[in-house]
Amino acid sequence: MGVIKLNNIKVFSYHGCLDEESKIGSDYRVDLKVHGDLSHSAKTDKLSDTIDYVHLNKIVKEEMAIRSKLLETVAERILKRIMDELIMVQKAKVDVSKINPPIGGNVAMVTVSRTKSR
């Protein structure tokens, strides 16, 4: 088993329950960790034999572009697409963080973590 991590994917999006969040948007950070058998690709040195992190990044960016009220919903969509589109992935964990959330305090970020396995 091997692990591929995409750390600190930065996106600007419009998630949240407040009306102003849908208009002004926010900065987000997404961290992704996927597990799969990387032993074959380590020998063949072929992109077609591994979990393509470019594809993972594309999924994150596309799903983050779809407005949702809850970060949980966005995280679930990301995980579903990863499991549907990348058959080599056995387990995936995603952290979706809203930077400087509008919660009336000095909070750097709020994060929702979700995990899905085959």
Q: Which residues are catalytic?
A: 98
Q: By C-alpha distance, which of 115, 112, 110 is closest to 92?
A: 115
- 85 half-sphere exposure, CB direction, 13 A CA radius: 16
96: left (phi over 0), alpha (psi -120 to 50) or beta: beta
Copy the structure tokens of residue 76: 């679930």
100: left (phi over 0), alpha (psi -120 to 50) or beta: left
Q: By C-alpha distance, which of 13, 86, 96, 91 is closest to 56?
A: 86
